[in-house]
Each structure stands twice: as structure tokens, then as C-alpha cells.
């Protein structure tokens, strides 16, 4: 079996397994939709300066793809990888001559598909409620989407390789997800946060993922710095999980 | 004459500079079932995972059909089938999908395997819905999916009830009838005794004994007990002391126990006839593999 067929087989298999997990589906699809609907409405009466004179619903709709991406990276992927390792499924794949590179490529592909589907669900909800804000730069959004998704899948694989069990991966993922969610601008907007919170926010990958999509969408400036931060994070996390994965499966 | 298909020489595996597999040598002949026996922590699983190239060995040589599992990983994987200890499948993977996923070039044999291993009616069910015995049958079937020449089965029956264990034993014998060589790791003595032509007993990372079950019994547990009753409590049997191989005679009332080697059993009958002595309720107790195993492990079973 060539590498492409191997990746395709694993990818299709992964997609089937994802759609059979109702809890994961609920978190990945429902959480971003529910929160964007709630937050977009809650802050509707906030003073305009809080959102830099952008409509709150537009601010959240344009940024919430990053929440879908982070849900997959922080919640779904770590549990999935840790569970595969904990239950010996990775070793079984390896013993059956599957390449671990093919396995991880299939994770990236299925992660991308899930993020695209989650984004579509989010856009449908936004369209039916607040409307979808006008897009300033499609290439900028696509670059932000690809860099953010790849980075968060990589973070998810790293978390899954750092934790010994699926349960601990879930705990760690949620522990990272909620502070990231609150400090990245996906919860309270940056102008509603203290200076210290904003300083911390600059070091959070989710902030860069959110702004890399939101800024080209709403014409808030170039997303180049955010893309650089995301790609840097992607490279570092990939090196780390490649090392850990090789240690975990061939000790 | 069968040929050697697996050769291991001076295999060493260390964790944090501590050797867990210490210079083991073994050979497996084509078509045999070799059992690797030892209690938990003896190094059995680590050894066979190193042999299969699933763990990096720290020393020694391994050759499976002439290929090194570490340097020629893909070639080795294409001729071996593995059932790993503590290895499952995703709960929501359907049985038919598992066969499709793990099948590499030989998809034609999937319906046959599903039938042969009693899984046809489970084809569209999730892995999580299978019983312990069905899961093990599935793992054996998956190990055979790509027409391997040699299969490694690690602690296949742990956690199964006696009925399911015997069901799995039948499956292993069926593999051998197909001409496939089997390396079976177990800590169940009855299992290796029922299935294996040759066994290896490991303790603390070393091979302590290897050979046929008869060889191992003869070397480590060759004591035989001959028990009988005399007609009266004072009937003289002291003449039995001269029987070759006799180690001890113990008597309680009419019951006499002769303890000695296999050689003793051969001679006892003829000496009794020579003394015109007819024993009552005579029984011969042969040493078991379990006794040999306990002796090899220094008197400790676990």
C-alpha cells in the first residue's frame, strides 16, 4: 500500500470515528455557535469604544472561527491522541506497518475537515442571527484559517503526547482552553481587559489565531505578525510532538 | 526437516540503564508453536516487542526470515502478524471496517476470515460491543489478515473465562494447521502445555530454561511419586530401597510412597514381580510443568 492510500484510509477512518462521538461533536459544533450567539447579543449595548467602534456581533462573528479551531486543538485532538496511545491503538497501527507520519497527516486532514464543517455551522448561525460581516480580504482570512488550524492541530497532538491518559488529556485541554478563550479576545474584548491581561494575551496562540482571521476580515490591519507567530508555534510544537511521539511509540 | 525462521542472539533491552532483557538467545522453527512462559515482569513482552521491531533493542541480533526487524522494518512487518498485549481498537470502529483498515494487499480473504473466526454476524457492530473472547478472535483474525508467515500472540487469553480460553486455544491450533509459525507469550502454564511444542521460561530478563515440555520436566522436575497400599501395616517393603533411581520411601500405615526419578518407575514394577509382591491401589504421579516452573523460579510462583 502506498503512502497516499495509507493516509486516505486513515483519514476516512478518522472522520467516521469523529462523527460517531456525540460529545466531541457537540463541543466542536455547538460551543462556538452558542457562545457567538450569546456574546454577540450580550455586548450589543456596550460603549462603542470597547470594540474599537466595530459592531460587537461583527467582532465576534469574524473572530469566532478561532474558537472552533481552538476547540478542535485543545479539546478534541488531545483526548483523541492520548486515548489512541493509552489503549495501544497507535502501537497496533505501527505493528500493522502503518507509518506514524501517515497517521499524523491523517489527523491534520481530519482536523481541517472538522474545522471547516464547524466554521460552516458557525456561519449559518451567524447569518441567521446577526448577519455575516463584509469581508475585506479573503486571502488574508484563508491564510489565517490555514495557519491557525494547522497550529492548533499541532498543539492538540502535542498535548495528546504529553498526557498519559485520555482523561488527563481532557483535563489539560480544558485547563488550557478556557483561559485562552477568556484572554484571547474571544470572551471579553481587549479594550475591556486590564493591561496585564492584554500583555498575557499577546503570548497566547489563540489570540494570534483569532486576530489572524478577524483583522483581514474587518480591515483592522495586516495579519502578518500573527501569521508569523502561528507558523513559529506550529514549527516548535511539531518538533516537540515528533520527538515525544517517537519516544512514546518506540521506547 | 523444518528450517529456522527466527533467530535471536544476545538480545539486550535497557530502560534508564537498567537491563530488562539480558542477553537472550532463541530460535524458532518453521510451523511450530513456541511458548514463552514467565510471570509478570519476566521480560517476555519486551523481548517479543524487540524481536518484532516494535521497541528499539539496545544490543544483539534478530533475524526473521533473514530480515532485521529494526533495519528492514517494512519487510518484516509484511511477513509477521502481531497480537499485542494491552492493545485495543477504537470503540466505535465497526468490525468490517477494522478488517478494511488493517488489510494491506489481500482484501479477498476478509469474508473468509470473518467466517472462519465466527465474526460474520458482528461485521457491522462496534468493537466495544464484542465480548472478551470475540475481541481476541478478532485480534487473531487481524493478525492473519495479511497472510503472515509467523504470528506473535501476547497474553492472548488474559482476562477470559475458561470457556473463552479454550475457544481461543482451538483458534491457535487452527493457525498452526495452516502452516503458520506461532510465538505465544503467556503466563498460563496450562496454556503453553496444551499448545506448544517447545517452551522458553524467562525470569528477570533471562532465559532460564528452554526445550520441549518433556525436556524441561526431565531437567527441572524429574521426581516421580509411586503410591500404593500394602496388605498389612507391617508388610516389609524395605527391599525397594535398592531399586535404581529410588530417593526415598515414606510410609504411613498401609500407604507407601516411593519418591524417585523416571528411571525408578521403570524398575519398580520388575522388582515387585521378582519379590512376588502385588501392590494395591497403585498410582503414579508424574511431575508437572508447573512444578518445573516453580523450581526454575526458585520456589516462587509469582
pLDDT digits (tens, 9 = 90+) for B50-96: 999 988 999 999 999 999 999 998 889 889 999 888 889 999 999 99
Q: Give me the pLDDT at residue B302, please.
A: 43
Of A17, A88, A96, the CB nearest to B93: A17
Pairing verdict, β B4-15 and B59-64: antiparallel
Q: Which residues of A touch B102 (CB under 8 A)?
A: 96
Give the rounded distance of the alpha carbon of B1 from its chain centre. Answer: 22
Which of A58, A62, A66 minimizes the C-alpha distance to A145? Answer: A66
Q: Which residues contact A23 (CB under 8 A, 6 or more apart)?
A: none
Q: Give me the pLDDT at residue B157, please.
A: 83
Q: Give me the pLDDT at residue B301, please.
A: 46
Helix intervals (H) in chain A: 3-19, 22-25, 31-42, 56-63, 65-70, 77-86, 89-95, 100-129, 138-162, 166-183, 195-201, 205-218, 224-250
CB contact under 8 A, A95 and B90: no
The answer to whether residues B81 and B143 touch, using CB atoms and an 8 Å cutoff, is yes
Separation CA A102–CA A122 (nearest Å): 30
pLDDT by residue for chain A (251 residues), tens only, comes to 688 889 999 999 999 998 888 887 887 788 888 887 887 777 777 777 777 778 888 888 888 899 999 999 998 899 999 999 999 899 889 888 888 889 999 999 999 999 999 999 889 988 888 889 999 999 999 999 999 999 999 999 999 999 989 999 999 999 999 999 999 988 888 888 889 998 999 999 999 999 999 999 999 988 999 999 999 999 999 999 998 887 766 55
Query: Which stretches of chain B drop beneath a pLDDT of 70?
Result: 1-2, 106-107, 299-302
Separation CA B10–CA B26 (nearest Å): 9
For B243-266, the DSSP string reads STTEEEEEEETTEEEEEE-HHHHH
Q: Which residues of B touch A91 (CB under 8 A)?
A: 54, 84, 87
CA–CA distances in Å: residue A152 to residues A174, A232, A238: 14, 12, 11
CB contact under 8 A, A13 and B82: no
The answer to whether residues B38 and B44 touch, using CB atoms and an 8 Å cutoff, is yes
Q: Give me the pLDDT at residue A191, please.
A: 84
Which residue carries 479539546 as its cell? A75
Q: Is B223 strand, coil or helix?
A: coil
Separation CA A33–CA A137 (nearest Å): 23
The percent of chain B in helix, strand and coil, each rounded to the nearest 5, is 35, 30, 35
pLDDT digits (tens, 9 = 90+) for A147-183: 999 999 999 999 999 998 999 999 999 999 999 999 9
**Cβ density class A61-94: b for 16+ within 10 Å, e for less:** bbbbbbbbbbbbbbbbbbbbbbbbbbbbbbbbbb
Mutating which of A10, A97, A99, A247 best tests the B interface, going by the most B Cβ atoms within 10 A? A97
Which residue carries 490591519 as its cell? A221
pLDDT digits (tens, 9 = 90+) for A121-148: 889 988 888 889 999 999 999 999 999 9
Which of A84, A102, A104, A76 minimizes the C-alpha distance to B88? Answer: A84
Separation CA B23–CA A213 (nearest Å): 58
Separation CA B301–CA B293 (nearest Å): 8
DSSP state of A72: I
Residues 134-153 of B with CB under 8 A from A: 142, 146
* Beta-carbon pairs below 8 A across chains A and B: 60
Amino acid at each position: 500500500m502506498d503512502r497516499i492510500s495509507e493516509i486516505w484510509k486513515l483519514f476516512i477512518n478518522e472522520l467516521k470515528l469523529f462523527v460517531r462521538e456525540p460529545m466531541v461533536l457537540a463541543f466542536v459544533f455547538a460551543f462556538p455557535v452558542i457562545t457567538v450567539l450569546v456574546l454577540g447579543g450580550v455586548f450589543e449595548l456596550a460603549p462603542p469604544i470597547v470594540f474599537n467602534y466595530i459592531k460587537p456581533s461583527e467582532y465576534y462573528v469574524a473572530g469566532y472561527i478561532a474558537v472552533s479551531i481552538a476547540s478542535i486543538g485543545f479539546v478534541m485532538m488531545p483526548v483523541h491522541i492520548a486515548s489512541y496511545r493509552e489503549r495501544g491503538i497507535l502501537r497496533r497501527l505501527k505493528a500493522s506497518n502503518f507509518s506514524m507520519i501517515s497517521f499524523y497527516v491523517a489527523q491534520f486532514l481530519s482536523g481541517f475537515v472538522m474545522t471547516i464543517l464547524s466554521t460552516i455551522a458557525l456561519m449559518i448561525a451567524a447569518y441567521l442571527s446577526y448577519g455575516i460581516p463584509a469581508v475585506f480580504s479573503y486571502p488574508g482570512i484563508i491564510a489565517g484559517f490555514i495557519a491557525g488550524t494547522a497550529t492548533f492541530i499541532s498543539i492538540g497532538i502535542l498535548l495528546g503526547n504529553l498526557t498519559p491518559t485520555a482523561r488527563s488529556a481532557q483535563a489539560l485541554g480544558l485547563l488550557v482552553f478556557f483561559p485562552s478563550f477568556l484572554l484571547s479576545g474571544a470572551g471579553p474584548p481587549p479594550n475591556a481587559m486590564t493591561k496585564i491581561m492584554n500583555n498575557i494575551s499577546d503570548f497566547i496562540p489563540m489570540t494570534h489565531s483569532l486576530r489572524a482571521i478577524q483583522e483581514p476580515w474587518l480591515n483592522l490591519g495586516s495579519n502578518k505578525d500573527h501569521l508569523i507567530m502561528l507558523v513559529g508555534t506550529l514549527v516548535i510544537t511539531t518538533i516537540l510532538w515528533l520527538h515525544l511521539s517517537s519516544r512514546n511509540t518506540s521506547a | 526437516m523444518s528450517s529456522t525462521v527466527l533467530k535471536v542472539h544476545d538480545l539486550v533491552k535497557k530502560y534508564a540503564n537498567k537491563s530488562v532483557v539480558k542477553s537472550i538467545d532463541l530460535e524458532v522453527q518453521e510451523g511450530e508453536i513456541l511458548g514463552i512462559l514467565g510471570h509478570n515482569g519476566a521480560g517476555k513482552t519486551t523481548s517479543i516487542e524487540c524481536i518484532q521491531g516494535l521497541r528499539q533493542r539496545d544490543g544483539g541480533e534478530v533475524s526473521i526470515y533473514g530480515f532485521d526487524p529494526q533495519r528492514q522494518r517494512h519487510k518484516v512487518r509484511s511477513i509477521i502478524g502481531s497480537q499485542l498485549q494491552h492493545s485495543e481498537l477504537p470503540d466505535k470502529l465497526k468490525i468490517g471496517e477494522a478488517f478494511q483498515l488493517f488489510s494491506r494487499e489481500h482484501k479477498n480473504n476478509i469474508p473468509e476470515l470473518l467466517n472462519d473466526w465466527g465474526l460474520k454476524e458482528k461485521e457491522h457492530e462496534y468493537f466495544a460491543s464484542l465480548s472478551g473472547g470475540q475481541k481476541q478472535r478478532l485480534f487473531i483474525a487481524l493478525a492473519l489478515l495479511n497472510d503472515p508467515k509467523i504470528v506473535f500472540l501476547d497474553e492472548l487469553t488474559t482476562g477470559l473465562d475458561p470457556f473463552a480460553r479454550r475457544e481461543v486455544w482451538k483458534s491457535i491450533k487452527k493457525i498452526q494447521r495452516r502452516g503458520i509459525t506461532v510465538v505465544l507469550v503467556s503466563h498460563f502454564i496450562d496454556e503453553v502445555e496444551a499448545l506448544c511444542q517447545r517452551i522458553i521460561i524467562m525470569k528477570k530478563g533471562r532465559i532460564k530454561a528452554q526445550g520441549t515440555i518433556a525436556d524441561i520436566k526431565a531437567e527441572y522436575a524429574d521426581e516421580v511419586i509411586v503410591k500404593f497400599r500394602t496388605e498389612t501395616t507391617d508388610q516389609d517393603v524395605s527391599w525397594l530401597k535398592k531399586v535404581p533411581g529410588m530417593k526415598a520411601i515414606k510410609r504411613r500405615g498401609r500407604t507407601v510412597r516411593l519418591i524417585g526419578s523416571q528411571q525408578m518407575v521403570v524398575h519398580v514394577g520388575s522388582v515387585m514381580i521378582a519379590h512376588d509382591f502385588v501392590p494395591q491401589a497403585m498410582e503414579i504421579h508424574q511431575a508437572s510443568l508447573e512444578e518445573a516452573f516453580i523450581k526454575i523460579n526458585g520456589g516462587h510462583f509469582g
